[in-house]
A and B are shown apart, each in its own frame.
Chain A
Amino acid sequence: MRKQLLLGVEAIARGAIDAGISGVYAYPGTPSTEITEYIQEAPETADRGLHSQWSANEKTAMEAAAGMSYAGKRALVCMKHVGMNVAADCFMNIAVTGVNGGMVIVAADDPGMHSSQNEQDSRVYGKFALLPVVEPADQQEAYDMTRHAFDLSERWELPVLLRVTTRLAHSRAGVTTRPPVAENAPRYPTDRRQFVLLPVNARARYRSLLQKQPALEVDAAGSPCNRYIEGADPALGIIACGIAYNYLMEAFNGHSPHPVVKVGQYPMPRDLVERLAARCRKLLVLEEGYPVIEELLRGYLGKEPVSGRLDGTLPRDGELNPDHVAKALGLPTRQGMPIPDIVMPRPPALCVGCSHRDVYKALNEVMTEFPGGRVFSDIGCYTLGALPPFLSIDSTVDMGASITMAKGAADAGLSPAVCVIGDSTFAHSGMTGLLDCVTENAPVTIIISDNESVSMTGGQDSAATGRLEAICRGIGVSPEHLKVLMPVPKNHDELCRVIRDEIAFPGVSVIIPRRPCIQKAARDKKKSKK
């Protein structure tokens, strides 16, 4: 069969379709976005009527997937690692209820922070929730393990977390697919108490989850995702997780002289690890992200002879690469010519003609009149307003934090407290913060820079498009202090005037500068030509 060239994330999407999902739920986030986009474009989605529309945020996505699983169907939910924080309330509790139809949660971690605020390791969430985690090393495994994860989920009646990191997510290779399985027929939970987490039920469910733990270890030891690979030289034993296995194989050209345990399913396969530890004098752990396995094996006192990211054998932060792993194995590495001094950094920037540029130009001009003021911002293309030439914003923390941090700072006496948030981020996590502001009539000036798109991730539809004014009015923003205008150079003075006036108003103001994302507009034009 001819191989298909797929990104790691596309292989996950293909695996999910072939595993008979009835829908995918997601909010865009690099490096997870293309999973949902692939499913949206796949012919089966139209043929089978699969759900694939974007959700307002990761929490609503995960809850909807839980509902689909409740109805007996297989559901996929996808997000970037920090999306797990948004969905954590659902995640921790759906682990306790368990699932009905198979439910797989994809968390795409971003070590090295290519497009993120931190490099949290989602395997920790898996352990926190006491759930199985699968972690593919390559594109073929991404496909196979997605299908495996759905089977695993239904076997144990638990959600399964599939963890992938940026490099595999966005690397392409040939993948062989297998014939698809049919979707599940509807089948509701036989025990009505399963999903009712009243304390009396929750205690019983939690005990059932705890009782499954030893069996999950046994399952992992026999899983096709985990393997013990014998090696002639027991001076070192290597545990390689996920994509780190590729760097190990690269270093030894496909054949490690040392025994290896390749880990692709957690909890850790105890039998395999014990066998490795008994055979080898010391252990090296190769894992992308946090030193999760290394910490587990070393113990707090560090008496076990285990090396990895904690003892400096590998860097503690950032992404792994073949050079790091070769050095950790004591192999020689090379280096080409140095980068000539003439090469300048080329940071990302707001596009020429982007509406956020007009917003920041006006905001900067007005803020020079208020040296005591601060601008709280949020996550999206407009975060680039933190870089030259704008230097407009003072914060970017988490989705929606612009509004709520502005409110808290205003509560503390900061004036003026201004915030800049995008339309999609507002729909994701800004609305509840606005409600807090309205409840207390906080003196904050909120700019929702509306480009009618989730732009940083490639121009997905924003849940608030066409509804922002109605949402703000519904939350209780006074119509006199809800201003909409088009951010273009000829409206610069008008935009400055509106910002100045609303800063002067000692209550909640919302200014909506609205102009479609120029990238999305160009793409839509191209699409309509086809």
Chain B
Amino acid sequence: MKTDMILAGVGGQGILSIAAVLGSAAVTNNLYMKQAETHGMSQRGGDVQSHLRLSDRPIYSDLIALGTADLILSVEPMEALRYLPYLKDNGHVVTSSAPMVNIPDYPDEERLMTVLRSLPRRVIVDADALSRESAGTPIAGNVVMLGAASPFIDIPFEFLERGIEDIFARKGDKVVESNLKALRAGRDFAHQSSR
């Protein structure tokens, strides 16, 4: 098994929390993982990305080669498009539909959605609404996104659930439970929309 994915977003949106859950899932199940992330200047509201690679065999490069990523998982719709050169021919794009408008020339949202919908294999998620519905709070949006990407990540869903339990354990059972609900809501949405 092997999944190469680009995590994308804007500095401050917390894409590394998604990586943390996957990391925990990888380590617990003796999988190999490499995850290169962005620190420093770009964290100040700039575009940020993380290359995340999971495999049951040793991984060499910390970076994913162009045209080879299985998945782009973005918590911001325009940022999902920035990494298309990395996506392989039959790769998937899973993105949040909520724009983060912090630049004066942010594209027209209608046009942006049209471009996103024109992609052959994409799941566009209203993460905020799904988080509220499932977890009762908007703050589990990134976990919803991970759930929505889970059908395209080549590890058992249970591994991700255990990852959520590990990462959120110190915040108490209630937080773990609401994040598990968010994860499942994301997965269910992806199954419905890619059907």
Q: Which residue numbers of A lie inside 8 Å of B, CB to CB?
A: 2-5, 30-31, 33-34, 114-115, 138, 167-168, 170-174, 243, 246-247, 249-250, 254, 321-323, 326, 333-340, 342-351, 381, 384, 456-458
Rounded to whole angstroms, the CA-CA distance of A344 and B111 in the bound complex is 13
Q: Which residues of B contact A342 (CB under 8 A)?
A: 78, 81, 107, 111-112, 115
The verdict on B43 contacting chain A, using a C-beta distance below 8 Å, is yes
Query: Which residues from chain B contact A345 at a C-beta distance below 8 Å?
Result: 47, 103
Answer yes or no: B136 CB below 8 A from chain A CBs. Answer: no
B22-51 interface with A by 8 A CB criterion: 23-24, 26-27, 32-47, 51
Contact partner of A172 (CB less than 8 A), chosen from B34, B44, B67, B105, is B34
In the complex, which of the residues B40, B44, B86, B106 contacts A349, with contact meaning CB atoms closer than 8 Å?
B44
Q: Which of A254, A337, A351 contacts B60 (CB 8 A)?
A: A254
Query: Which residues of chain A are near B33, meaning CB under 8 Å?
Result: 5, 172-174
Given A334-B67, A456-B40, do A351 and B45 touch, yes or no (CB 8 Å)? yes
What residue of chain A has the Cβ atom nearest to residue B12's Cβ? A351
Given contacts A2-B27, A349-B46, contact A337 B87 (CB under 8 A): yes
Task: Give the Cβ gap from B41 to chain A, nearest Cβ, in Å.
Answer: 4
Q: Are B41 and A167 in contact (CB under 8 A)?
A: no
Q: Which residues of B are at the interface with A, using a C-beta cutoff of 8 A?
A: 10-11, 19, 23-24, 26-27, 32-47, 51, 58-69, 78-79, 81-82, 84-89, 91, 102-103, 105-107, 111-112, 115
Q: Which of B45, B60, B66 contacts A334 (CB 8 A)?
A: B66
Asked whether B40 lies within 8 Å of A334 as measured between CB atoms, the reply is no
Main secondary structure, interface of B, reads mixed
Interface of A is mostly: loop
Hey, which chain A residues are within 8 Å of B61, CB to CB? 246-247, 249-250, 322
Q: Is the CB of A249 within 8 A of B39?
A: no
Name which of A336, A344, A384 has the most chain B CB atoms within 10 A of its CB. A336
Chain A residues with CB below 8 A from B86, complex form: 336
Asked if residues A115 and B41 are in contact (CB atoms below 8 Å), the reply is: yes
A402 to B180, CA, bound (A): 51
Residues of B within 8 A of A344 (CB): 78, 103, 105-107
Task: Give the most central of B24, B40, B64, B67: most A CB within 10 Å.
Answer: B40
Q: A333-B67, A344-B78 are in contact. List 4 more A-B contacts (CB 8 A).
A: A167-B62, A246-B60, A247-B63, A351-B45
What are the residues of chain A within 8 A of B19 when measuring CB–CB? 172
Give the distance to chain B from A179, nearest Cβ to Cβ, in Å. 20
Q: List 21 A-B contacts (CB under 8 A).
A: A4-B27, A31-B39, A34-B39, A167-B62, A171-B34, A171-B36, A171-B51, A172-B37, A173-B32, A173-B59, A246-B61, A247-B61, A323-B66, A336-B86, A338-B85, A339-B85, A342-B78, A342-B107, A342-B112, A343-B107, A344-B103
